[in-house]
Amino acid sequence: MTYLQIIQDFFQLCADHKMIQTWGYGQLSDLVDPYNQEAQDYPYAFLVPESHVLQTGEIRYRFQLIMQELVQGGQLEVIQAQSDALQYIQDLLAHYYYTLTQYDFDLNVNVTPFREKYDDQVAGMTAQIELIVKNTLNDCITPYE
C-alpha cells in the first residue's frame, strides 16, 4: 500500500459520507484550499500529515484530522458544531476500523475541541490519528543490481 493510496482512501471515505461536504490535505496553511473542489462548504474534513514511523513489519502513519463547521452564533452553536465534528470523526474512524481491513488502527485517539477564525469563523474537533499498515522491507524489488 502506498502513501498515495492512504490519502485516496481518506478522500473516498469523505466523499462517501453523507454529511461531509469538503475535504482537503496538507499543512495548516493549506486549510483554506480544499482538495479538488470549487467551493469550501461545511462540514469540512482536513488531513494534516505528521511524522510517520517505519518499524519492523509496519509503517505508522500519523495525522491530525481536523473536522470543522461554520459557526455564526453563540456558545450553544459552537458546542453543537463541536459535537457534530466529533460524531463525523467517529464515523470516519469506524469506517477505517470495520471496513478498510488493510489498516490496523490505534483506537487511543486524542481529540481536542476548537473555535477559530480563518477566512470564516469555525468550530470543531482535531483528532490525532495513527493508521498502521503492515509493511515488510523487500530487497527483491529495490532498484539495485
What is the per-residue pLDDT across 25-45, written as a single tens digit (0 to 9) for each? 999 888 876 666 666 789 999
C-alpha–C-alpha distance, residues 90 and 127, integer Å = 10
11 neighbors 47 (Cβ within 8 angstroms): no
Q: Which domains does the chain have, with CATH numbers?
A: 3-135 (3.30.980)
Mean pLDDT of 119-131: 91
Residue 79 pLDDT class (50, 70, 90 cuts): very high
Share of the chain above pLDDT 90, in %: 57
Cis, peptide link before residue 34, omega less than 30° from 0: no
The pTM of this model reads 0.87
Measured CA to CA, the distance from residue 41 to residue 13 in angstroms comes to 17
